[in-house]
A and B are shown apart, each in its own frame.
Chain A
Amino acid sequence: MLELYGHVVASRLLLGTARYPSPAILAEAVRASKTDIVTVSLRREMAGSRAGGAFFQLIRTLGVRVLPNTAGCHTVAEAVLTAKMAREVFATDWIKLEVIGNHDTLQPDVFALVEAARILSGEGFKVFPYTTDDLVVAERLMEAGCQVLMPWCAPIGSAMGPVNLPALRSLRAQFPDIPLIVDAGIGRPSHAAIVMEIGYDAVLLNTAVAGAADPAAMAAAFTGAIEAGRIAFRAGMLEPRDMAVPSTPVIGKAVFS
Chain B
Amino acid sequence: MRVLIKGAGVAGLTLAHELTARGAAVEVAEIARYVGGGASWFAGGMLAPWCESESAPDTVLALGREAADWWHTVLPGHVICKGTLVVAPQRDTGELARFAARTSGCDWLDADDIAALEPDLAGRFRKALHFRHEAHLDPRRAITALYGRLQASGVRFHLGAGPDFPEAGFDHVVDCTGANAIGQAAELRGVRGEMLMLETPDVSLSRPVRLLHPRIPLYVVPRGDGRFMIGATMIESDDAGPVSARSLMELLNAAYTLHPTFGEARVIETGAGVRPAYPDNLPRLSVDGSAIRLNGFYRHGFLLAPSMAKDAATCIVGMQADNGQQSLVRPSLLAPSERNIIPLQIGAGR
Contact = CB atoms under 8 A, between A and B. Distances in A.
Contacts of B190: 49, 54
B237 A157 contact: no
Given A50-B183, A54-B182, A22 B237 contact: no
Interface stretch (B32-40, B157-165, B238-246): B238-246
B237 A46 contact: yes
B235 interface: yes
B16 to A, nearest CB: 28
A24 interface: yes
A55 interface: yes
A51 B281 contact: no
A19 to B, nearest CB: 8
Contacts of A72: 246
A47 B182 contact: no
20 contacts: A21-B56, A22-B279, A22-B282, A23-B280, A24-B278, A25-B280, A44-B236, A45-B235, A47-B235, A47-B239, A48-B237, A48-B241, A49-B239, A50-B183, A53-B237, A54-B188, A58-B189, A72-B246, A207-B214, A213-B102
A22 B280 CA distance: 5
A67 to B, nearest CB: 17
Interface string A178-217: 0000000000000000000000000000010000010000
Nearest to B187: A54
A207 B235 CA distance: 17
A49 B237 contact: yes
Interface in A1-58: 21-25, 27, 44-51, 53-55, 58
Given A47-B239, A49-B237, 9 more contacts: A22-B281, A23-B280, A27-B279, A47-B241, A47-B244, A48-B237, A48-B239, A53-B236, A157-B214
Interface in B171-205: 182-183, 188-190, 192
Given A21-B56, A23-B279, A50 B182 contact: yes
Contacts of B281: 21-24
Contacts of B182: 50, 54
Nearest to A27: B279
Contacts of A46: 237
Contacts of A207: 214
B55 interface: yes
Chain B interface residue count: which class? Answer: 20 to 34
A24 B282 CA distance: 10
A45 B279 contact: no
A51 B182 CA distance: 11
Contact of B238 (A22, A23, A54, A213): A54
Interface of B: 55-57, 102, 182-183, 188-190, 192, 214-215, 235-239, 241, 244, 246, 277-282
A45 B234 CA distance: 9
Nearest to A21: B55
A222 to B, nearest CB: 19
Interface of A: 21-25, 27, 44-51, 53-55, 58, 72, 157, 207, 213
B237 A45 contact: yes
Nearest to B189: A54
Contacts of B279: 22-24, 27, 58
Given A24-B281, A157-B214, A49 B238 contact: yes
Contacts of B244: 47
Contacts of A21: 55-57, 281
- Among B56, B182, B235, B282, find the residue whose CB has the most chain A CB atoms closer than 10 A: B235
B167 to A, nearest CB: 26
A22 B215 CA distance: 16
A47 B241 CA distance: 9
Contacts of B55: 21
A27 B281 CA distance: 13
A45 B237 CA distance: 6
B321 to A, nearest CB: 35
Contacts of B214: 157, 207
Nearest to B239: A48
A210 to B, nearest CB: 10
Nearest to B215: A157
Contacts of A55: 189, 236-237
Q: List the 9 shortest-distance A-B pairs measured between CB atoms, nearest first.
A: A54-B189, A48-B239, A55-B236, A22-B281, A24-B280, A45-B236, A24-B279, A21-B55, A23-B279
A187 to B, nearest CB: 11
Contacts of B278: 24
Nearest to A41: B236
B232 to A, nearest CB: 14
A83 B9 CA distance: 39
B237 A47 contact: yes
Contacts of A50: 182-183, 238
- Among B182, B238, B282, find the residue whose CB has the most chain A CB atoms closer than 10 A: B238
A44 B280 contact: no
A239 B183 CA distance: 59
A11 to B, nearest CB: 23
A161 B190 CA distance: 35
Contacts of A47: 192, 235, 237, 239, 241, 244
Nearest to A57: B189
A48 B241 CA distance: 8
A10 B282 CA distance: 34
